[in-house]
Structure formats: structure tokens, C-alpha cells
Structure 1
Amino acid sequence: MFTDKINLALKIAAKAHQGQNRKGTDIPYISHPVAVGMIISQYTNDEATIVAGILHDILEDVNPAVYSEADMRRDFGDEITDIVKDVSEPKTAGQPKLPWKERKESYLNRLGNSYYIEAYIVATADKIHNLTDILKDYDQFGDEIWQRFNASKWDILWYYRAVFSLIRNEPVPIELKHHLATLIEELGGVVTINPYD
């Protein structure tokens, strides 16, 4: 389902993420928001949720001079922008990035206080795609993939489990929750392969 609004979101996301790559790879970053939108579209035809999935990393990862919250509100309205904000780590212009754990705790707090079921669906699809890539890269490169992150593999496991604990009781499609739970269980197995790390 490609509506005018979905096509606009794809165009804006491609431009906003131009020159960015997935962490530790040469894969263009746009592959991630497109994949998140595709995952969402397998479970709902709701245009706002799909669009928010495509746009979900813009407010967090793109310089506001390129595309800002005000631009998003103008182009997509308050609901989509608020969903995107609810799945974004808070950031303050001109301030240094917070440490990894503080950023993740802020994200969890923001998501946990969201009024939008769509935010939980976007967060679930986002984490599914991220975990799929982490596990695929682990199969290929082994423990060296953990060097890409500003956190230990134990902290990464904690974070995904914490996200799931927020999503578990929300009315997210059960198949989507099950998919995420399966990937988190697989991550747990990978993380605990060598308990002396």
C-alpha cells in the first residue's frame, strides 16, 4: 500500500538519512526505516503507523537544519509527529549526547508514557529489524560486532528486554510481539555463550 503520504515519507526519509550508514556497515541507513515500514505493513494498513515507522529515526538522528520537528508537523501533522517523538531518544540542541544508559532510560520513559498504540507498534518493528541485523551480523562476525555499540552486550540485552516489558501488555498484534520475543530470546542465547565476558 503506497499512498501519497507514504511516498512522501519515503522521499523525506531518503533525503534526511542521505550519507548515513547502518552502524558498523556500509549499508545505507535508509534500508532501516524502509524495513520498519514494511514490517509494520505486514500487521496493519494504518497509514499513520506506517508513515511514523518510516520517519521514526529522523528526529533522533537527523540535524534539525536538514529536517526538523516543525517540518514534520507541517508535512505530516501532529499525530504522526507525536508518535515519532514517542519512539525517539530525547535530545537537546547544542547539548552533548547523554551516556548510552541515560539515553535508553529516557527512551523507555518516553515510550512507556505514550498514549499511542501506534508508537508501541513502531517501537516493536524497529527493535525487530535492529535485532535481526544484530543476530545476522553476529552469525557472520561473532563477538566483534559488540564493538559497534557504546554499551556492553549485557546492557544491550537489558535494553531489548526492557522495551519488550513495556510492549508486552499493550494491544500490539500478538504475532509482532511473538516475533520480538523470539529474537530477544535468541539474543539472550548469544550474549550468554561466554559467561566470562
Structure 2
Amino acid sequence: MSATPTDGARRPRRDRRQALIDAAIALMSEGGDADISAAAISRRADVAHGLLFYYFTDKQGLVAAALADVLSRLVHHQSPRADEQTPEQRLDGFVRRHIEFLENHRTLYVRVVVEGVLGDPAVERALREARAEGARQVADIVGLEQPPTPVMQTAVVAWTGFLDRAADEYVERDDLSLDDVVDLVVRAFGVVTGR
């Protein structure tokens, strides 16, 4: 039987840093009543409280790292699959997986993005970068000219906002089917971009 961090063994540095990120994500995902203090995060990660400040300088640095971790999972999750051969299939898959990911991480999404509970310049920057990456991903998926014209870039960025609001509606309502929402969002892309 191997030693675990709770019975005296030390985690490797990378594991302790990731444990703090995972603990922050877990606590932020628990909803509005969850304690997301530095002490609570350290306890959940089962690491010394001071390590949070060693790895991240402050709690907001950890929150930004946790958000970046979740957003990188989103980018990976919504990437095209091998069986999606056409731009239409790739866009449909992107939209479907984006909505499913937001639904599966709903509490975290609402808390950080919709309610802005952790409003901080680093968090705002991470969200802007994630949205820009999503727009780049979509442009690549559908084969837009690179770099896109300023108007086309604006259209794609605006459409990603529409996608997020449509995802919000889907998750908040009982009378919408995922297929209908995906179809709506994909059709809206064609209207907005003329493609």
C-alpha cells in the first residue's frame, strides 16, 4: 500500500499546485454558500495553507488559475471530433459540446461568469482570453479566412455571446431541447456571418 498525503507523505510540487486548483474548482462549484476562503481551499486540497500563497501569490491568483484550468478543459472538450468532416458538422459539434459543458459545470459558470462573484481583473482577463480563443476555434472550424476581417471577427465574437446566452436559456428552462437550441445557434452563425 502506497503512502498518501494524508498519512504523512508529501505530494510532489506539481500535484500540490494542481490539488489547490482542483479544490478551488470544487468549492466554487458547490454554490453560493460554499466557503471559498484560502483556508477552506487549502483544507480541501489537504495542503499547508502557506502553499496557496507560494504557488499563486494570493487567492485571486489561484481563482484565475482555476478558471484557466476549467476554460482549457472547455476548449479541449469542444474541439472537433474525427467523425465531423464538414464545417457544418464541426460547428454543430462545437455548439453541442459547448452547451453540454456549461450545463455540466453550471454552478461554477453561474457563480463566476453570470454572477461575477469573483470579479477581479485577472478573472475578467481569463474570461476575455477564453472568449477570444473560442472565437478563434470557431473561425478555424468553419474555415474562415485568416486573419478574419474586422467585421467578420466582430460577427464571430458577437455570435459566441449569442451562443452563451442560448446555453443559459437551455439550462434554465425545461421546455427547450438541446437539438433545437443547437440548430438555432448554428443557423444564427450563418445569418451573422453570411456563411
- Normalised by the shorter chain, which TM-score bucket? 0.3 to 0.5
**Which structure is higher in helix share?**
2
Scaled by the length of structure 1, what TM-score is found?
0.37
From the CA coordinates, give the structure whose radius of gyration is larger.
2
